[in-house]
Structure 1
């Protein structure tokens, strides 16, 4: 029994030692993941929200260092405060007088990291401090989601699903879903009209976020402007959607009745209809070949139009007329 307990104790001790070694390795990797020698730098930002000691420092997505300190200090002119962060970077990637720095989101849970942006190809002179003029601060993404929240609360998944089902049925040829489809569109457009203020608030919130990153993300600004223009046009023409929803089902039903009366239904056999109309395809092709000559004769009876030739038309030989099948061909004199 004593030997058994001794073996169990030894096994537990070995497992504990292995666990501690692995934990120490992970901790060391997190503290100093970048290989090679590193150098310490500092950067001045107007906002360092989300950054903490141990946050990543990356260059083109590659980890080259870690944040070593986050502090708040008074500005040099004494008119306020600024965030000062200390960070390390590999010696292979030195910071120069043209290097820029930006705080970016690592994920939507709020974690940030520092992105080092190399300067001009000239390189600049080595430095250990990046001023606020060459840094892009962090911004609060909750500003965007706070604007989205009212819109998300008003959206009804049932309405969206119903619209999808009705459109699918309509595209598959089920004409009974036409009225239901227009009804679903009417409900969604009415909801948009009621929430015009909310949508405008959302655009304003997104615009404020875009202004913070305007210098480095012109695509975001272009997207906001186009999105604003799209919503403006939609809101200006909501009455057209409502009229379509009101009169569309009746018009669609009447059109369907007319087409059915003409024999154009979904059960129409086009191939059979063509065989009935043209029992002899060869004769039909020959008859169609004579149509140009027929049209030319009718035009001659109605009176020839003025010649488009400034110097008159050249007469065609009889052989050429035969080759053209009686088609009126105009050849101008030089």
Structure 2
């Protein structure tokens, strides 16, 4: 029992230590991610002509070091943005302090950069406002990147991101230099130069296509004229075409009514026609023989009819069966023996 109590106490102690360490680590992580600060601070305001993208919680930095956070953004005079921010109490701001909105990254996050300019060195009091003359809005990336659009179309996404970041740093006056930008531009130019064969081949193929089109300019012009005439004819006959569509619609309705009235006998006729077609198919050999013999028979009949409007028929042979009372049948096979039959007369 004592051994069990000792083991339980040891496990409970380990569990408590784990919970405390985990709680402390979570708290540090929350403070780090949330940019929380427990140091005393002072609130100031800055007026901007454009504060697009600035949100509550963004950093306030001096020389790249975070000294505060943005607390609120409001609109004043309908065309101005008033940004309220806090900085640590040990950070001194003067009336010559300049506030500028900078891009934190290419995702679009911003921060406010505070710099000390030459001028009145009197300190700002808590709650004072940095006037709009001493503030700068963020760089308009849309206008900037539109100017580089032809260059970006020839780059890979990784090169575009790298060059864009360098451009932002140069034009915001922080990190990087114009020399770095030019070196990256030279790298881009080298990349384009490495693809000169592909570009040259593309231009040659395009020239060949244009030559073929130029050789057939007459046919192309004639095709365009013919198509224009065709479209013009359709335009002139649009009323007739639309009218014919109405007539076709009425004809369809009338046809549907006609079929609906004779649907059942029509179906029966189709069934009987199928039966007739089946019978003809089964006796097609006999039908073929009859069609072959029929011209000969007609020729003989016509030859006989030239002597007058009468015909002589001779019975040469008779064959059949006579059904007797009681269901019995008697076969008959009779040959007349006429001399006419030996002369090739009709049977």
Structure 1 length-normalised TM: 0.39
Q: Relative CO higher for 1 or 2, CA cutoff 8 Å, sep ≥ 6?
A: 1
Larger Rg, first or second structure (1 or 2): 2
